[in-house]
Structure 1
């Protein structure tokens, strides 16, 4: 575990060990499917009480890891691109959620958020929303905001080890172009102009996640 990666944030990085974990879960499922699906839940049970929120980030297409994650989770948040194969992937995630409902009856779908898409692709977003409405019977499952495609920002964040809002803040501290032109300052490291927009997208999604969890928990209390 990497403790204190950010204030109030600890991280367990999977990296190449995810392949070993998937192989282990796959082999375990051959003998005891339920035990394999609940392996992660039992592991997290010993530490979950120390945190306000535990986020599980699963690689796409890895069935053993996804099954273990949804068996341990209270809510599922599905990132979605607008192409047809990605939309089919949502159905696969739904099927995995159904497969563990007996083990984790409290599991719920928090929503679907569009990622890697054009901010102005309104017609494409509408087509995707229509497909999801047909699949789920409502368009409320889709987050009203999306995370735009910005390869330069993604690359800069990885290279500098920064989150999008941290990258935005770092770039904003640099000298202005007219200060450099006047010789009043030296040019700092260049950065993508999209950092601010991506940071805003991610913040909006985070706020919506928080809102939806609060609403769901409030409904449970009042039920």
Structure 2
């Protein structure tokens, strides 16, 4: 069983834009009026950098998952956007939960589903950020989700990571028949790259039996905007407002005869912001479509 409208974002390789996708899509959904929860299941805890809150140890989340304590919610990280923070302590999670399962207790998927069920009525959307190399945690996230989104870059290692997640997906489907593949996101590439899409489809074909859906929107490569976002703890669509403030500060500094410092690296991040806005709309539309298909089957 899975928690309604919970999306896992997963990849078998790190550094493919997974956390950026989680934060920007969730942030845009919240800005559009949805009540959204991000659960950071990664010991790196990079959601903190993307959203600009103080990095967390992950101890509270670890304690919640191994005891009866409620999920530790950071409320109001953005308007209508709450977070459960990850951190280094989650590195112990797989070993602890494996030991519990061997003693006859529920596995991590059971525990995570119960925890999310406790808060699900408070949110329109729950997004899970998963670690790239932790099979137990990724499997648990898929077991508790209705859909999975897989980001990938163009290199062979990233495509191999897509295949690993596709294999996890097929394994978990026996346990969670509600789970669906929402789609694959092509990240940090040119919009004119057609060979990559063909390779992604071919890579997944052997695992899934047919070509996996690939979202039309591709997230363009713009390192300067990505660096600005994490340096400032801002989402990409928030950078435009920051740029206005920087221009005012620059003019003031020049008037006073001083050298402006600390400005944004990107001159214009509107294109990247548009990519995320289009992708968020595609993902949410796809999730609704999957829900309607499930209702028809039921």
TM-score > 0.5, shorter chain as reference: yes
Deviation at 1:67, TM superposition (A): 0.7
**Kept in 2: contact 1:82–1:125 (CA 8 A):** yes
Name the counterpart of 2:199: 128
Q: CA-atom RMSD, angstroms?
A: 3.0
Within 5 Å, give how 1:33-72 maps onto structure 2. 35-72=107-144
Name the counterpart of 2:224: 152
Closer, same or farther in 2 for the Cα pair 1:184/1:82, shift >3 Å?
same
Deviation at 1:140, TM superposition (A): 5.5
Closer, same or farther in 2 for the Cα pair 1:184/1:204, shift >3 Å?
farther
d(CA) in 1 for partners of 2:105, 2:159: 27
d(CA) in 2 for partners of 1:125, 1:184: 51
Task: Tell me the TM-score normalized by structure 1.
Answer: 0.84
**Kept in 1: contact 2:204–2:211 (CA 8 A):** yes
Within 5 Å, give how 1:87-106 maps onto structure 2. 87-106=159-178
**Kept in 2: contact 1:168–1:195 (CA 8 A):** yes
Closer, same or farther in 2 for the Cα pair 1:38/1:97, shift >3 Å?
farther
**Kept in 2: contact 1:132–1:138 (CA 8 A):** no
d(CA) in 1 for partners of 2:256, 2:247: 9
Deviation at 1:185, TM superposition (A): 10
**Kept in 1: contact 2:240–2:270 (CA 8 A):** yes
Provide Cα deviations, 1:147-203, integer angstroms capped at 9, x if missing partner: 123222222212211111111221034438x96899599857421135322212211
Provide Cα deviations, 1:62-82, integer angstroms capped at 9, x if missing partner: 111101100000001111111
Could you tell me which of 208, 214, 218 is aligned with 2:292?
A: 218
Aligned residues: 222
Name the counterpart of 1:201: 275
Task: Tell me the TM-score normalized by structure 2.
Answer: 0.65
Closer, same or farther in 2 for the Cα pair 1:150/1:30, shift >3 Å?
farther
Deviation at 1:22, TM superposition (A): 2.6
Name the counterpart of 2:42: none
Deviation at 1:215, TM superposition (A): 1.5
d(CA) in 2 for partners of 1:194, 1:64: 40
**Kept in 2: contact 1:150–1:198 (CA 8 A):** yes
Higher relative contact order at CA 8 Å, sep ≥6: structure 1 or structure 2?
2
Name the counterpart of 1:119: 190
* 118-127 vs 53-62, which moves further: 118-127
SS in 1 for 2:125: coil
Ranges in structure 1 where 5+ consecutive residues have no aligned partner:
none
Ranges in structure 2 where 5+ consecutive residues have no aligned partner:
1-72
Higher CA-based Rg? 1
